Amino acid sequence: MTAVAADLRRQLEETTSRLAKIEGQSQAAETIIRSYAPSVGLLHVSVAFNDKSSGRRLRYGGMDSDGSPLKDSDGNPVYTTEGRGPEVRGDFLALASSWATEKS
């Protein structure tokens, strides 16, 4: 066997070994997901803000040409309870598991 062929064979064996290791890790991850998927959920909470006295929603004072909120001279977003700008919202994502919510 030539040196080139021997080097190619060695590279192939190393690649095959790495691939087998990756496949084993993937199968382990799939087993975990399959076991716990029925008891895990994604929570999405979207919060809007209302002015306590008027009950009006907090809105952005306007949007620029890029779709970003208008900013004051200090670089802070402009907010208002007047007008028709987009509502200011806080969006939160979390994973929930049934085992975490069960009573002990």
pLDDT value, residue 22: 80
- Inform me whether the pLDDT recorded for 40 exceeds 80: no
Cα 83 to Cα 25: distance, rounded to the nearest angstrom: 54
Task: Please answer whether residues 58 and 79 qualify as being in contact, where contact means their C-beta atoms are separated by less than 8 angstroms.
Answer: yes
Q: What is the pLDDT of residues 1-34, one digit of tens each?
A: 688 778 788 888 888 888 888 887 778 777 777 7
Mean pLDDT of 91-96: 84
Whether residue 74 has pLDDT greater than 90: yes
Q: What is the rounded CA–CA span in Å between residue 59 and residue 78?
A: 9
* pLDDT for the residue numbered 77: 94
| Confidence label for 88 from pLDDT (cuts 50, 70 and 90) | very high
Residue 5 is encoded by which pair of tokens? 């062929």
Region 57-81: mean pLDDT is: 94
At position 48, the amino acid (one-letter code) is A
DSSP tag of 37 = G
> What is the CA 17 to chain-centroid distance, rounded?
33
Mean pLDDT (whole number) for 52-58? 92
